[in-house]
Amino acid sequence: MNTYREPAREIPVTHAVDVVVAGGGTAGTAAAVCAARLGLSVVMVEQTAIPGGMLTHVTHWLSDFANKGGFAREFITHLRDSGICQWPYHNLFRTALYLDELVDASGVRHLYLARVAAPMRDGDGRVCGVIVESKSGRHAVRAKVVIDATGDGDVAALAGASFVVGRESDGACQAISLSHLLTNYTGPAISNPDFLALLDRAAASAGNHYRIPYDRARIQTLAGTRQCIWNGTPHVCGHDPLDAASLSDAMVALRRQCREFHDTLKFHTEEFADLEFGPIAGLPGVRESRRMLCDEAVSYPDAVAGRRRPGGLFLVTQAIDIHKCHEGEPDIYVEKIKPYHIPYGALLPRGVENLLVVGRCIGGDHQTLASYRIIADCFAMGEAAAIAARAAIDENRTPRQIPAEQVAAKMAELGYEQ
């Protein structure tokens, strides 16, 4: 491989804080806001222009909030009371504005359109901040505790933590999706079977053999709107979410599917003749990539047996929900589980000190990941990481040295069912 030797340079430290959160998605926003509310100084680094990640770019469906307290309960209560959520669906655009309010009110210093390029290490090898690349150039954020909320475990992997990718049998990851707003639809809601039949008729009329990429579609207006449809049917398989070229190819293929879906409906059905092509989300729905090897892990047997552990942080009740990994497989596989604990050790990547991971990259397996990657559970992970960071700073210890029972007790005080 050809290489280029970059000249050594000094990087300015633009921020020195208690906590830096790498990633401002679902888990990252919760971690940042909760840490700031606990009195810590916080910088949140987010590669897109708005907070929320999958919550504000991909999914308008919410679940697994019933047994949650703290930040998760506050969030869902506000969405319901304000009309942003008409259970179980929410308006992603209004949700983004609400997250802005929470981040600003908490005092978090947000850095948008910025990405973490590398971890910083102190003389003892502990993670002590991150290197950021942004419109300000290359600069550093020094922190007492680092929370990796990138979804892909980028900071942990760059710090040398071990990980696995995809399902155990072949390394394949769940399909990547893309969401797309369609406007000017004034018709009624359409059930999944009726909509699939309508698409079959449209494909016959078009003579294009159109087949929907994800067959769970149904038509209803986006919460709080009269004429907008949030379309999440574009799905692609076989693309590597950790490879820049492959992920770029996936985005192009997904946008093509958005166009095909729109054109088939608009030009080949009476029901959607007035349909208009709206904005395409700027962030893909990556369901699976790295899973860090952590001090503890949750597994499929834990989920089906409903395993509870001493010091478990909170309970997951969401079913396993696996989207296809290869074309030809069923679009989705769903399996009910029993409520199981997320252990504190699943947030602690092996061999790396002073770093917590939250979101889909925690310690787990392919099947159970498809249960705990849900919005409410990512919120809960973020809040648990904030609690651990506060304790670590107060006691001059690393997060690994904080007893799981101590964090779990705080979660229970906030109303998380144990």
Give me the pLDDT at residue 42, please: 98
CA distance 303 to 335: 10
What pLDDT does 101 receive?
98
Mean pLDDT value of segment 218-230 = 96
User: How far lies 229's CA from each of 190, 193, 206, 220, 261, in Å?
Assistant: 11, 17, 22, 6, 12
Q: Which domains does the chain have, with CATH numbers?
A: 13-167+287-413 (3.50.50.60), 176-280 (no CATH)
Q: What is the pLDDT of residues 240-269, one digit of tens each?
A: 999 999 999 999 999 999 999 999 999 999
Two tokens, residue 21? 């959160």
CA–CA distances in Å: residue 171 to residues 209, 291, 342, 362, 365: 31, 11, 23, 17, 11
Q: 265 burial class (0-12, 13-18, 19+ CB within 10 angstroms)? A: buried
Amino acid letter for position 258? C
pLDDT per residue over 57-95, tens digit each? 999 999 999 999 999 999 999 999 999 999 999 999 999
Question: Coil, strand, or helix at residue 360?
Answer: coil
Residues 328-337 have pLDDT tens digits of 999 999 999 9
Q: What is the pLDDT of residue 339?
A: 98
In the predicted model, is pLDDT for residue 1 greater than 80? no
User: pLDDT of 339-371, one tens digit each?
Assistant: 999 999 999 999 999 999 999 999 999 999 999
Query: Do residues 155 and 146 touch, judged by C-beta distance below 8 A?
Result: yes
d(CA 104, CA 382): 17
State the pTM of this model.
Answer: 0.97
